[in-house]
């Protein structure tokens, strides 16, 4: 069950049902940055939508009653085996995108950024993530321009419409939490 708006009220709805109906629901996205580089992941082939496509570091839906920051920390660990990062909120973005197979993501997303002083190791869960890559933002934009179908709709939207919000002060690094 994910937090979803129905008739102006936040109610729990099964995730797949929210996507089938294109209902606006809560989501979380994380970007782990090392200077100008961003850690991206390639979604596992078993994912029910957008399998095999590249996405930002981590994205998911909070559980009913789960705080966005707690959700972001949980999914970084579950998907990539990453713990101990200082997550900084970057505000909310909203988007609506067709993700194929008759499914629509209509998300109100809490965005978080973590700055690291080195490329950190990952332990991807193969049921969630098939590959990771550290790539400069400029190179990522070039890759997306050359092959947009290899990237999730939300990553393309984030970079085209919300890059200034997400990457503000990206040159600053705070490192890992002690």
Beta carbons within 10 angstroms of residue 44's beta carbon: 17
The catalytic residue among 58, 59, 79, 110 is: 59
Interval 103-109 mean pLDDT: 95
In this structure, is residue 178 part of a structural domain?
no
The Cα 137–Cα 157 span in angstroms is 14
Active site residue 107: yes
pTM, entire model: 0.91
In this structure, is residue 139 part of a structural domain?
yes
Mean per-residue pLDDT of the chain: 92
In this structure, is residue 174 part of a structural domain?
no
Active site residue 79: no
The Cα 114–Cα 28 span in angstroms is 13
Structural domain that includes position 128: 2-167
The catalytic residue among 37, 79, 105, 107 is: 107
HEC profile of 43-74: ECCCCCCCCCCEECCEEECCCCCCCHHHHHHH
The Cα 44–Cα 130 span in angstroms is 5
In this structure, is residue 173 part of a structural domain?
no
In the chain, pLDDT over 90 holds for what percent of residues? 84
pLDDT of residue 171 exceeding 50, the answer is no
Query: What's 15's domain CATH number?
Result: 3.90.79.10
pLDDT of residue 172 exceeding 50, the answer is no
pLDDT in tens, 111-157: 999 999 999 999 999 999 999 999 999 999 999 999 999 999 999 99
pLDDT of residue 176 exceeding 60, the answer is no
Interval 78-103 mean pLDDT: 95
* Number of domains into which the chain is organized: 1
């Amino acid at each position: 069950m994910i937090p979803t708006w129905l008739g102006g009220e936040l109610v729990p709805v099964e995730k797949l049902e929210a996507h089938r109906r294109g209902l606006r629901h809560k989501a979380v996205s994380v970007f782990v940055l090392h200077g100008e580089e961003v850690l991206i992941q390639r979604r596992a082939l078993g994912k029910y939508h957008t399998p095999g496509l590249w996405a930002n570091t981590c994205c998911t839906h909070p559980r009913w009653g789960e705080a966005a920051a707690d959700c972001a920390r949980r999914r970084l660990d579950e998907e990539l085996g990453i713990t101990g990062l200082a997550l900084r909120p970057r505000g909310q973005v909203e988007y609506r995108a067709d993700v194929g197979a008759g499914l629509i993501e209509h998300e109100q997303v809490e965005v978080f950024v973590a700055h690291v002083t080195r490329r950190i190791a990952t332990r991807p869960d193969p049921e969630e993530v098939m590959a990771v890559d550290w790539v400069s933002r400029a190179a990522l934009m070039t890759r997306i321009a050359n092959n947009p179908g290899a990237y999730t709709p939300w990553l393309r939207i984030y970079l085209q419409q919300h890059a200034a919000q997400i990457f503000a002060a990206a040159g600053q690094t705070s490192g890992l939490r002690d």
